[in-house]
Amino acid sequence: MSRSFQVDLRGVVDLLSQHLYSSPRVYVRELLQNAVDAVTARRAADPSAPAGIAIDVHSADGGTLRITDTGIGLSEAQVHELLATIGRSSKRDELGYGRHEFLGQFGIGLLSTFLVADEARVVTRSAGGGPAVTWTGRADGTYAIGPGERDAAGTTVTLTARPGAEQWFVPETVTDLAALYGSMLPFEITVNGKAISGTGTPWRADDRSAGHRAADLVGYAQEVLGFTPFDVVELDVPEAGLTGVAYVLPFPANPAEHAGHRVYLKRMLLAENAPGLLPDWAFFARCVVDTGELRPTASREALYDDEQLAVTREALGDRLRGWLVGLAGTSPERLNRFLAVHHLGVKALALHDDEMLRLVDEWWPLETNVGRMTLAEFRARYGVLRYCATAEEFGQLAGVAAAQDVPVINGGYTYDSELVERVRALEPDLLVERLDPSDIATVFAELDSATALATRPFVAAAQRCVDRLGCEVVLREFEPASLPVLYLVDRAAAFAGELRATKDKVDDLWAGVLSAFEKPEQDRPQLVLNYRNPLVQRVSRLRDADLTALAVESLYGQALLLGHHPIRPADSALLNRSFLGLLDHALPASEQR
């Protein structure tokens, strides 16, 4: 013998309230939606039928809400079949798919009334004829049917607040909720006599002037989203029955935070923060759209992530890409302003997305030692993309490289050096070179042999001064002559330096382990003195050993500062000492004054 399932309605309502719906407030949406569907169904058969939905809500006596529609209504047989059977809906076709013209499809919406009330009373009269019927459903799973009083076709649902749910029956709250969900619906809807719908979507095509329409769109963003958009991009994807606008954000957005969009389904609000409508790279835009074809999840709070959503996402992405490309073509100045706001996000995405990379390549000016310019401009001019990987290396080398006609990009800003390397994806034959301080050292000219011989004692003395600081002194000739000294740390030496600093801080065991990585001598940073500089020449000729030491030490300090190198405690002690020592030498002794 086959038996029927028994359903514990309390359990089902708990399930809905705790796991499906985010808040009891959705009961307003579900009632509104049933009323809209009923009006739609009636007007499908009789386009001249009235289309009105009225909510009356009072908070006296704990709270009651009544919603009346002029919709299709239900006969007694339909009441048994549709209202009293969970999961049964009149809005699905023979195959069980939601019918296109209706908002509902799951057959559970009415249950949401039990989130806020113990009893729902429905008085309905079918437009097809027959007497009015009253159905009273209770949260404990029982229902009663009896005759109803109602002259015109349509339905009235009445709820009384359950103790503890009174806040959902406050007239202002209900007005706000009805406006939130229903303000774009194409029928007149009133709450306590006040209309909350009627004007339609702000992007509708009508007889407003272009300026008026544009102002409405901006006004909507200001009022509803709370910002004045950088730009407004109109959206239209016929396959998804989708229209709307994308607002370009006027402030930086984090691409990692998948921003949500305001989505209306057949003019009724589905979600204020629906994710997944735009591709990840379009993090800089917030959409407000109305769609007839995309499917909701059963909670009606998000879009169902299916193939159709994926196709729509692509189409919307193309639209925004088109906007960006258009901006580049027609209004580079605006594109630059856009990048000034969103460059970090655009750059982050350019690491994976060729389209964004192209945008950065052509439009984002980078710092170089020959002025700010885009990567595209740089390689058109110089052929090679030569860059320093860190701001410190750029600080050390920019001036010297420029003096030797070596243009170089500062890759030290967030993502910049990765992007320079990535540009190869656009142009596989492109030469990309990372400039290392040791590369620059090789272009320094050796001194002629006589000068080298004559300055050998000075170099030896200078070496003794800075030996304990772990660097090697070399005397060379290079441009610009105005630069007396350079402190060059190549990558290996920088690593060795970090090792040394760490070793000083850790215990013996670790220091021993770290020593295994250390390489001797040739990795030491170089203090390169420029013999072309008149001051250095004078220092090299000093007879006084103390003064020579002071001068070398202060040149060392100067080189550290110029190259933005970290100043260790030993360095700052030396800087102090050399500065005071030089001052002492420079000032006349007091008895001579």
Ligand X SMILES: Nc1ncnc2c1ncn2[C@@H]1O[C@H](COP(=O)(O)OP(=O)(O)OP(=O)(O)O)[C@@H](O)[C@H]1O
Site residues for ligand X per CB under 6 A: 30, 33-35, 38, 69, 71-74, 82-83, 89-91, 104-110, 155
Shortest distance, position 76 Cβ to ligand X, whole Å = 13
Tokens of 477: 């000739």
Shortest distance, position 289 Cβ to ligand X, whole Å = 20
Nearer to ligand X, 109 or 557 (CB): 109
Nearer to ligand X, 152 or 573 (CB): 152
Shortest distance, position 13 Cβ to ligand X, whole Å = 12
Shortest distance, position 268 Cβ to ligand X, whole Å = 11
Residue 433 DSSP one-character state:
E
Listed as own residue / partner, the contacts of 217-220 with beta carbons closer than 8 Å and 24 or more positions apart are: 217/245, 220/288
Cα-based distances in Å from 366 to 333, 406, 408: 16, 16, 10
Instruction: For residue 390, give the 3-state DSSP assignment.
Output: coil
Q: At what angle do helices 449-466 and 545-562 cross, to 10 degrees?
A: 80
Shortest distance, position 99 Cβ to ligand X, whole Å = 10
Shortest distance, position 157 Cβ to ligand X, whole Å = 6
Asked if the bond preceding 480 is cis, omega within 30° of 0, the reply is yes
**What is the SS3 string spanning 529-561?**
EECCCHHHHHHHCCCCHHHHHHHHHHHHHHHHH
Q: At what angle do helices 171-182 and 26-45 cross, to 10 degrees?
A: 50
**H helix count then E strand count, the chain:** 18, 19
Instruction: List CB contacts of 123: < 8 A, sequence separation 6 or more.
Output: 132, 133, 134, 148, 149, 150, 155, 156, 158
Shortest distance, position 100 Cβ to ligand X, whole Å = 14
Nearer to ligand X, 38 or 240 (CB): 38
Nearer to ligand X, 54 or 430 (CB): 54
Nearer to ligand X, 88 or 564 (CB): 88
Nearer to ligand X, 109 or 148 (CB): 109
Nearest Cα to 122, choosing from 166, 168, 76?
76
Alpha helices (H) along 75-207: 76-78, 171-182
Neighbours of 444 (CB within 10 A): 22
Classify the C-alpha dihedral 168-169-172-177 as positive or negative: positive
Query: What is the H or E stretch that residue 432 is in?
Result: strand 431-434
| Partner residues linked to 92 by β-bridges | 98
Nearer to ligand X, 270 or 385 (CB): 270
Shortest distance, position 128 Cβ to ligand X, whole Å = 12
Shortest distance, position 355 Cβ to ligand X, whole Å = 39
Nearer to ligand X, 158 or 417 (CB): 158
Structural contact between residues 393 and 435, judged by C-beta atoms closer than 8 angstroms: yes
Structural contact between residues 575 and 554, judged by C-beta atoms closer than 8 angstroms: yes
Nearer to ligand X, 123 or 385 (CB): 123
Shortest distance, position 19 Cβ to ligand X, whole Å = 15
| Partner residues linked to 388 by β-bridges | 410
Nearer to ligand X, 137 or 229 (CB): 137
